[in-house]
Amino acid sequence: MEIKKILVLCTGNSCRSQIAEGYLRHFAKDKAAIYSAGIEAHGLNPKAIEVMLEDGIDITNHTSDNVHAYRHISFDFVITVCDNAKEHCPFFPGSAQKFHRDFPDPARATGSPDEIKAQFRYTRALIKDYCREFVRRNL
């Protein structure tokens, strides 16, 4: 069985794409090689790491990468997780199937620390459900 290559693309590769990479790795197991990148690289958001650890997934060793680092890879799937990334997604040679879902950006959350954490958890839950279903349908 050929391992599929999946790229998750976001604006800054700090939250949503990192969470999606974590869940896709978890659900796909050895059926896919998962990458994430951003139009820019903003570094890993500590709150994204924290809420993923709450769900038993460790993304502390992920890196925040610019999409240009992966131009040489022929992806089977490219998933954009924000409208900005979809609009500015670079051309990838090959026949990658493109998927899009605009998730709310928890890094933009305001309010008390508890309210901000609640927004991270909300976005995490949306991404988890999406990734579970993506793997079920496509791998």
Average pLDDT over residues 20-49: 96
Q: In what order do the strands lie in the sheet with 4-10?
A: 32-38, 4-10, 77-80, 97-100
Average pLDDT over residues 49-65: 97
Give residue 78's pLDDT. Answer: 93
pLDDT of residue 137 exceeding 90: yes
Give residue 90's pLDDT. Answer: 67
Q: Which domains, ranges and CATH numbers included, belong to the chain?
A: 4-138 (3.40.50.2300)
Provide the residue type at 131 as one letter. Answer: C
Give the count of beta carbons closer than 10 Å to the beta carbon of residue 82: 23
The kind and range of the H/E element at 47 are: helix 46-54
Residue 31's contacts (CB-CB under 8 Å, 6 or more residues apart) are 1, 3, 4, 135, 139
Average pLDDT over residues 74-82: 94
Average pLDDT over residues 64-79: 92
Give the CA distances from residue 136 to residues 19, 24, 59, 69, 132, in Å, rounded to whole numbers and listed in that order: 18, 11, 22, 28, 6
Q: pTM value?
A: 0.95
Q: Which are the catalytic amino acids?
A: 10, 82, 89
pLDDT of residue 93 exceeding 70: no
